[in-house]
Structure 1
Amino acid sequence: MNIRKWHWSTSSLQTKLALSVLIMTLPLVGLLFYNNFYAIHVVRGQVADSYTDTFTLYMNQIDEGLNDVDAYMNTLAFGNDLLAIGQAVTDDDYYTAKFYLYNKLSQEMAWYPSLSSFFVYEEKRQEYMDISSGYTERESIKNYVIDLIHRKKEMQGDITKRWQYHQIGDEHYLIDIVKAGDAYLGAWVRTKQLIAPLRTLKLGKEGEILFANDQGKPITVTNLILDKGIELRQDMTNYYLSGSDRKYLVVGEHSSRGNFSLFALIPDKNILDKLPYLQRVIWIITFGAMVFIPVGLYLMRRSFLIPLNRVLLAMKKVRGGDWGVQVNMHKTSEEFLILGNSFNSMMTEIQMLRVNVFEEQLNKQREELQRLQLQVNPHFFLNALNIVYNLAKVKNFELILEMTMSLIQYFRYLFRSNTSFVKLEDELEHTRYYLNIQSLRFPGQLTWTIDAPVYLTETPVPPLIVQSFVENSIKHAVTLDEPIDIAVQIDFLEEEKGMKIIIKDTGRGFADDVLKELQAGRSVQNDRGEHTGIWNIGRRLRLLYNDTVTIRYFNDTVTGGAVVEIMLSTEPELEEML
């Protein structure tokens, strides 16, 4: 028995078992996934909080340093030192004030380690002075600052964020300028100098720390931003992941003294490397569950569902009429072996019981067939003897011989017809002897014809099948009032591989109540409560052909006589045959 199909149905046991396994395992897998992502989220949050705290602390230090510079510059701007330069009348006064301010700024600059340089610009004389050393870009910064003062852009900024970002050449700076009369005092800081202390933070091989302006444009490390597709947001209330092909954890802090922000770009893979064991265990368990679920379903199907399906298919075949089915329970569990062997033993016993019951039914059918065949109408026998007696009285020896010979042949066939089937040729010959006897009984009142193809003469048919219907026609149709014709027509049905037998007469036909009972397949009884010959022959045909025979009863629309149409198979499964 080949069991290869898996029938998915909401009411089937195999579907319920599969769903039960999934219901038990999928929540566990979902919990593992959740735990994995939750652990990643926690680690990211912890890393982000750590860097945020560090950045907040350092940004406060930067802002405090810039604020100190602002406060110092404001003191100078509203004091006499800077005003003296702008208000000097003579050159001696101007250079004296300038020299004094230079020395003062040079001495005070040591108090501001984050500061790169102070500068002073006198607008009337258009003289620029800076207090710095070792910077190769001093000339470019000088030109940029003078142009900036002339354009007076710096004066239009937010008073709370006086340090503005500027790019001069390839370098990035924060510049702050105050005005006192015709003189300007300013300071500038390299962004590299501010970021330098944070380079000691371990951000990973590809991590970076950078400044960005208020528009989210990077001040430093622009290549990394462009290559990795990292977005710098202004909303820094929480960390976020950004990047096109590789994700970076982005944390930052805004400056309160300038239009810039500090960002840290931490590769996400470096963060997750801090929990390798837990992550590997979670993924191994998760993928193991995804693998073992189908494996478990397969083993359950092979060990439980397939043997059970074998039993179910065998029971379906039994329900369909196949009582010889056996269940093959090889290579299965002990419980199913016991179940299969018990089922096979039960089917063997049922098969033997059915054989015994079938043989008993056959014996009963044989007895019933013989009893039906030997039912001889006593009136016919007495009438035949009476005809012979009357012929003897008138000494009509020729008719006596004909009558006696027909009776001999008639009763010889009748008493030897104790089999289930005879040749059609013998049945028709017997019917002719019977009609010949009736013709002598009703001279001039009965005519008959029998027509059958020669190639059907060897076909097996039940005995008395034609003669019984002919006898019924004579019993109910022949009268002394007008002649009656009886016709027997036999044809071959090629498509159905069967034979059609038609017996019709020109009498009064079936009565309406009798015809209704016959068409409904119910028994018709005579006045004495006996079954008619038609019921007997119908019973015989059903016993022999297992209800595959078709019998139709109707009245001819032209003559009004009774018509019986029988369709039989020409190849019955014969039990015994002459």
Structure 2
Amino acid sequence: MKFLKQKRPYSIKKFLYRYFLLLFLCTSAVLIFYCVVFMKSYSDQMSSNAAARIDYYSSSLETEMKKCTSFEQKLCYSDSSFQLLTIKNLKDTDKVILHYNVTEMLKRQVAPYECIFIFDQDRRVSTYAAGESFSADEKQYIYQLKDHLREYWLDENQTSYNKWIVFQDAHNSVLMKALKVRDVYVCTTIDLENFDLLTYNESEDNPVQFGFFNNTEILTNQISVTEAGMDLTNLAYPKNPFFSNYYIMTTPIEETDISMFCLVYSDYMGDFAKVSILVFVLAAFVTCIIIVYTFYSFHKILLYPLDQINAATKHLEQNDPASFLSDSHSNIIEYQNINNALSNLIEQKITLTNEKQAEAFEKDHARLQYYQMQTRSHFFINCLKSLYNMLESKEYEKMQRMIIAFSNHLRYIFHDNLKLVTLQSELAEVNDYYNIILLDRVSPFILNTQVDETLLPYRVPSLIIQTFLENTAKYNRESGSLLIFDIKIERAELNGKPVMQIMLSDNGTGYDQETLDRLNSSENDLFARKHVGISNLKRRIALIYKTDYQFAFYNKPAGGACGLLYLPLIEAPQL
């Protein structure tokens, strides 16, 4: 079996809000994506620049190291002058010539940042060639370095030949490699402190600092590392926050146990990134404002007819088309046409409502007249019977009082019962009716009245008290004991509103349970046979007050019926 899914109702406003939120989120996502891409591009650019520099410099250093290695091998194993120089017991003249030839070869080979030393244990052979970076220092430092290297390599336990290793003394930090031929040592050193390539292509606007480190210490350019707030750990495990003033990258040097670091000052890039992000945030803010304004404009344009229809429905309840037009004027022609059409619709609805209310009023009026006359027929017959008995008994004075009270009663009950009467008029009718009861009743009957005199000008439905008095007299006619009917009317408050509280009670037989259930029910019983007057009174009150009233019926603990009514306070019009 195929079940059709019923669509739930939804609001167009929520529908528009949902699409606005979707548009806003998509726009925000695009802007955030752009920001992330920009930051990633900035980071990649910094990484690429640093990588290009350090790759160039490290490869240049490795190339020089290979050249030095090649020269050492060529010198030691292919050069005849050096081979002869390693032989002992040479003549002094031959030794001088060979020594000169080797020295000149070293000078032609040595780079500005290199120094090549040749020495032996007996100091029979001792020469060197130093580049410009070494020559810039005092020669005593070169001799000291030579002595330190000689001591290092002449150590009997030394086995690190033909390897690039780091050597440091008080004035130099060098990368060196040595070969031994017979008893003669050839040691090539590269000055790590004054490696000329480190300043190659460097500008003031884009300063770059290079240096070397190993697992235990920073070998060169420690001052720059300290100024950047870094240490050996930062070099070993480099991290680059986005807005840092420095960008660091490291790379190991082949065939050595050292690494090179490249420290790029990124202030200019950071400032550019900050300005760019500020511009991005400003652009995002302006974009959001434009989106919100556009949504507001479309919201106003698309929902205006719906809002006006909604406002028109509220004015329909108030029956006030004039205020709708005054509150809904628009300079837009199409919108004003909608307002005029809605105003005409309100006027037509009001006209139809008034006609329907007038028709309903006539029906209610006729129904009330019927209810009222329905409860009077037996009373009229009883009054006529009483007058007949008085006439037979020649009780003319009593008969006169009966006729006067009866005529007042007739004049009171035959007025328009949809119109309210003052409480004072209702109490006067109660007194007239009480006199009729006294003239017709054998057993005693007492009427007690406690009324707040400030409530006398207020209006109530006609016969509202008289109906209960009549009901008490009717259903306690056979009682031979003293019958008392109490009237207590005072101000009260119900649901925060001032009301008139009317309590009507007697000491008679009271209501049976079936009657109590029927009277306390909110439904009107058209076919009631007992207490018809009270049932009809309830229907009249419902027609007059609609829902703005309350009632309760119960039996008093000591016996007797009690009715409690709460009616709104309606003052009589000023004449």
CA distance in 2, matches of 1:357, 1:32: 66
> Take 1:349 and 1:128, find their aligned partners in 2: how far apart are those partners?
125
**Cα offsets for 1:146-169 (capped at 9, x unmatched):** 244435598747545335343542
1:212 is paired with a residue whose SS is: strand
Q: Distance in 2 between matches of 1:526 and 1:477?
A: 23
TM-superposition CA deviations, 1:304-347 (whole Å, max 9, x none):
24873794497389469555473855668666555445444433
Q: Deviations over 1:375-400 (max 9, x none)?
A: 56233223222222222223222322
Aligned match for 1:300, one of 279, 295, 310: 295
- Aligned partner of 2:405 in structure 1 is 406
Which one-letter code corresponds to 1:326 in the other structure?
Answer: F
Q: Which whole-Å CA distance do the structure 1 matches of 2:472 and 2:564 have between them?
A: 13
Do the aligned partners of 2:118 and 2:185 also contact (CA within 8 Å) in 1? yes
Tell me how far 1:279 sits from its aligned partner. Answer: 13
Q: Secondary structure at the match of 1:498?
A: strand
Q: Distance in 1 between matches of 2:574 and 2:373?
A: 18
Paired letter, 1:224: S
The range that moved more, 380-389 or 129-138, is 129-138
Partner of 1:25: 27
DSSP-derived class of the 1:465 partner: coil
In 2, the alpha carbon distance for the partners of 1:39 and 1:516 equals 85
Partner of 1:508: 509
- After superposition, residues 296-445 of structure 1 pair within 5 angstroms as 296-305=291-300, 308=303, 311-312=306-307, 315=310, 318=313, 321-322=317-318, 324=320, 326=324, 328=327, 336-375=335-374, 377-416=376-415, 418=417, 420-444=419-443
Encode CA deviations 1:179-236: one digit per residue, 9 max, x unaligned: 566654434343466424x644356633336341334865554443332346789999
* TM-aligned CA distance change 1:126 to 1:493, over 3 Å: farther
Other-structure match for 1:146:
147
* Kept in 1: contact 2:420–2:462 (CA 8 A): yes
Structure 2: distance between partners of 1:334 and 1:239: 69
Q: Deviations over 1:33-73 (max 9, x none)?
A: 45535654665566456546634652342122221243246
1:492 is aligned to 490
SS of residue in 1 equivalent to 2:394: coil
- Structure 2 residue matching 1:384: 3-state secondary structure: helix
Cα deviation, residue 365, structure 1 = 3.9
Moved more, 128-137 or 408-417: 128-137
Between the aligned partners of 1:44 and 1:262, the Cα distance in structure 2 is 17
Change (3 A) 1:271 1:299: closer
Corresponding residue for residue 4 of structure 2: none
1:385–1:259: structure 2 CA closer, same or farther, 3 Å change rule?
closer
Q: Please list, as runs of the form range in 1=range in 2, the aligned pairs for 1:264-303 lying within 5 A after superposition.
A: 264-268=262-266, 288-303=283-298
The counterpart of 1:104, out of the listed 94, 101, 105, is: 101
Tell me by how many angstroms 1:103 deviates.
1.7
Worse overlay, 286-295 or 438-447: 286-295
Residue equivalent to 2:164: 162
Answer yes or no: is the 8 Å Cα contact 2:247–2:266 preserved in 1: yes
Q: 1:62 to 1:553 in 2, by over 3 A?
A: same
Counterpart CA distance in 1 for 2:571 and 2:354 is 17
**RMSD across aligned positions (CA):** 4.5
Letter in 1 for 2:15: L
Residues 427 and 463 of structure 1 are in contact (CA less than 8 Å); yes or no, is this contact kept in structure 2?
yes
Whether the 8 Å contact between 1:241 and 1:248 is mirrored in structure 2 is: yes
Matched, 1:205 2:205: yes
Once the 2 structures are TM-superposed, how far is the Cα of residue 370 of structure 1 from its aligned partner?
4.3
1:526-552 Cα distance to aligned partner (Å, 9 max, x none)? 68x698111111112222222222221
1:520-559 matches, cutoff 5 A: 520-524=521-525, 532-559=532-559
CA-to-partner distance for each residue in 1:101-140, whole Å, 9 max, x for gaps? Answer: 5223213214423274443444456996545595653222
Q: Distance in 2 between matches of 1:240 and 1:383?
A: 113
CA contact (8 A) 1:514 1:524 kept: no
Share of identical aligned residues, percent?
A: 18
What is the Cα deviation at residue 14 of structure 1? 4.0
TM-aligned CA distance change 1:446 to 1:307, over 3 Å: same
- Give the TM-score normalised by the residue count of structure 2: 0.78
Matched, 1:483 2:463: no
Q: Is the 8 A contact 1:47 1:271 kept in 2?
A: no
Cα separation, partners in 2 of 1:48 and 1:501, compared to 1, 3 Å: closer
**1:225: which partner in 2?**
225
CA distance in 2, matches of 1:153, 1:421: 134
User: What do the CA deviations read for 1:482-535 (whole angstroms, capped 9, x no partner)?
Assistant: 2351313223134453332222233322122122111113334668x6981111
Distance 2:311 2:438 in 1: 59
Which residue identity lines up with residue 347 of structure 1 in the other structure? Answer: I
1:308 counterpart letter in structure 2: L
Indicate if the aligned counterparts of 1:210 and 1:218 stay in contact, CA closer than 8 A: no
Q: How many residues align?
A: 552
Secondary structure of 1:486's match?
strand
TM-score by length of 1: 0.78
**DSSP-derived class of the 1:502 partner:** strand
CA distance in 2, matches of 1:406, 1:63: 141
- Contact 1:163 1:176 (8 Å CA) reproduced: yes
1:454-500 Cα distance to aligned partner (Å, 9 max, x none): 44333322211111111122222211x52351313223134453332
Matched residue type, 2:144: N
Letter in 2 for 1:109: L
Residues 484, 507 of structure 1: 8 Å contact kept: no
User: Using a 3 Å threshold, how does the CA distance of structure 1 residues 376 and 22 change in structure 2: closer, same or farther?
Assistant: closer
Cα distance in 2, alignment partners of residues 252 and 506 from structure 1: 113
| C-alpha distance in structure 2 between counterparts of 1:23 and 1:243, whole Å | 26
1:469 equivalent to 2:468? Answer yes
Q: Deviations over 1:239-272 (max 9, x none)?
A: 985798423363656143x454455444557789
1:448–1:487 contact (8 Å) kept in structure 2 = yes
> CA contact under 8 A between 1:504 and 1:563: conserved in structure 2?
yes
2:159 and 2:334 mapped to 1: Cα distance?
90
Aligned residue type for 1:138: K
- Output the amino acid matched with 2:106: M
CA shift for structure 1 position 82: 5.5
Q: Give, as a single letter, the amino acid of the residue that structure 1 aligns with 2:480.
A: E
Structure 2: segments with no counterpart, 5+ residues: 1-10
1:361–1:153: structure 2 CA closer, same or farther, 3 Å change rule?
A: farther
8 Å contact from structure 1 (residues 123, 182) kept in 2: yes
**SS in structure 2 opposite 1:326?**
helix
Q: Distance in 2 between matches of 1:409 and 1:254?
A: 129
